[in-house]
Amino acid sequence: MAKRRKKVVEEEEKKEIFEEPEFDVRDFLIKEMKKAKGIIIVFIISLVLGIISGYLQVYVSVYLGAVLGFVFIFLLKPILAKAKAEFSDKKTWFYAITMFLLIWFLGWTIALNPPLNDISPPQIRSVQVYNGTAWIEIYSASSGIHHKNIDKLHWNGLMSVRVLATDNVGVDEVKINGHKAVFKDGYYVVYNIKIYGKITVEAWDVNAANSSNINEHYTKLEITVPTGK
């Protein structure tokens, strides 16, 4: 009898050990709602801060823009706590901080590009000289100056030069050795100019006239060539 009672007690203890805890639906929903609310708040804060950081870089200092973002990482917890949207586990906090950094950099990038800002000068992609029958490339943005092509050309007399120039907003004007180039077939061209040992290409974008920092909207390229060859 005693053995049977002992066996029953042991079985009841095993049932208690393996008994699953009761699932609290209300507590689960509250945590999930807080998590969703917190993620939305982090997204909005990081995007706004990213745009502000971009403007700080343009008008004040890039370092101030960086400090602003990193300071707010430490302010996230009290901000979410005050909004009753704090996260309950470390894994979610790690995800939130990672998302904050990514969205912050995204907002920063958006702020530095059109239509919000323009800090990139025009790009000179190619410079070509006409040899009488074809256009010969003497410079490309990918490989630099093509000295072999320069040496093959005859540099006496009048020369025609064309330039491929691009900009993220738009190219306003291109000059080649001080002569204003005309836009034709995707290139900026100057016809029949005398070249004295150097080709100088200057390009301005459409925002150059209204900018206090001309270096963000102006590009200059100089290529040394033979004289009277």
Asked whether 92 and 86 are in contact (CB, 8 A), the reply is: no
Provide the sign of the torsion angle of the four alpha carbons 104, 107, 109, 111, taken in this order: negative
Strand order across the beta sheet in which 123-130 lies: 144-145, 135-140, 123-130, 158-166, 187-194, 182-184
User: pLDDT: is 16 or 97 the higher one?
Assistant: 97
Q: Which pTM value belongs to this model?
A: 0.69
User: pLDDT: is 10 or 191 the higher one?
Assistant: 191
- Tens digit of each residue's pLDDT (9 = 90 or more) over 167-190: 999 999 999 999 999 999 999 999
pLDDT band at 227 (very low <50, low <70, confident <90, very high): confident
Domains of the chain: 2-112 (no CATH), 123-224 (2.60.40)
The b-or-e profile of 100-131 (16+ CB within 10 A means b, else e) is: beebbeebbebbbeeeebbbbbbebebbbbbe
Cα torsion 82, 86, 88, 94 to 10°: value is -130
The residue type at 169: V
**Alpha-carbon gap, residue 122 to 145, rounded angstroms:** 18
User: What local confidence, expressed as pLDDT, does residue 15 receive?
Assistant: 53
- Tens digit of each residue's pLDDT (9 = 90 or more) over 121-162: 999 999 999 999 999 999 999 999 999 999 999 888 899 999
Write out the H or E segment, with its range, that includes residue 82.
helix 62-82
